[in-house]
Amino acid sequence: MADRPYGLIATFATPGAVLRAAAQVRDAGYKQWDCITPFPVHGLDSAMGVGRSRVPRISLVGGITGFCTGMSMIWFMDRFDYPLTVGGKPFFSPLFAFPVSYELTILFTAFATIGGMFVLNGLPMHHHPVLHYEHIRRGTDDLFFIVIERADPRFNLETTRSLLARAGGTDIAELAP
């Protein structure tokens, strides 16, 4: 195919087969690889060695930022922009600032979650070499694939091909960059 392929792709017929193969690829020490499945496969993330997502932490930072922004904004407005004492009430009270802070917490959390997801997933990605594979559409219907990228430090064309074959992969092909 190409002189320097993007990587290798192997086809698997069942969820169990791709699950066992993913564990073998993980145990072989590969880091830059992925599984393509037509539906979620229970246990695949642990078989791949994928840890928990960092998106919840980013969401928490967004929420705390929104809450603090709301409280600070109301304090600043009450103290400097419109200092009006009504009935001996204080210039600032968290009770008065809560509705605005609550709404900003939700808004900033939503923006941080979406932004974090886009950044961590490398989106938007308008092109990916896997999309050139002739049978990739079946990965949304009834086939399962494992793709090992050439960028992986352990990638060697013959060794990786034999690993995928030993793992039960069929139709092992090189992906054009």
Helices 94-120 and 55-76 meet at what angle, rounded to 10?
A: 150
Position 1 pLDDT exceeds 60 = no
Question: What would the mean pLDDT of 56-64 be, rounded to a whole number?
Answer: 98
- CA dist 39 and 22 (Å) reads 16
User: pLDDT tens across 123-174, in order?
Assistant: 988 888 999 899 999 989 999 999 999 999 999 999 999 999 999 999 999 9
Look at the chain and count its residues: 177
Given the DSSP bridges, would you call strands 144-149 and 170-175 parallel, antiparallel or unpaired?
unpaired
Position 8 pLDDT exceeds 90 = yes
Higher pLDDT pick, 92 / 117: 117
Q: Please give the C-alpha separations between residue 53 and each of 5, 116, 177, in angstroms, as whole numbers.
A: 29, 10, 28
Q: Which helix (H) or strand (E) holds 57?
A: helix 55-76
Structure tokens at 62: 């967004």
- The backbone torsions φ and ψ at residue 7, rounded to the nearest 5 degrees and listed phi first, read 170, -165
Position 6 pLDDT exceeds 90 = yes
User: pLDDT tens across 20-53, in order?
Assistant: 999 999 999 999 999 999 999 999 999 999 999 9
Give 176's DSSP letter. P
- CA dist 62 and 26 (Å) reads 33
Position 2 pLDDT exceeds 60 = no
Map tokens 């009834």 to a residue.
Answer: 142
Position 111 pLDDT exceeds 90 = yes
Q: In what order do the strands lie in the sheet with 33-36?
A: 33-36, 144-149, 7-12, 170-175
pLDDT score of 161: 95
Q: Give percent above pLDDT 70 in the chain.
A: 99
Domains delineated in the chain: 7-52+127-175 (3.30.70), 55-120 (no CATH)
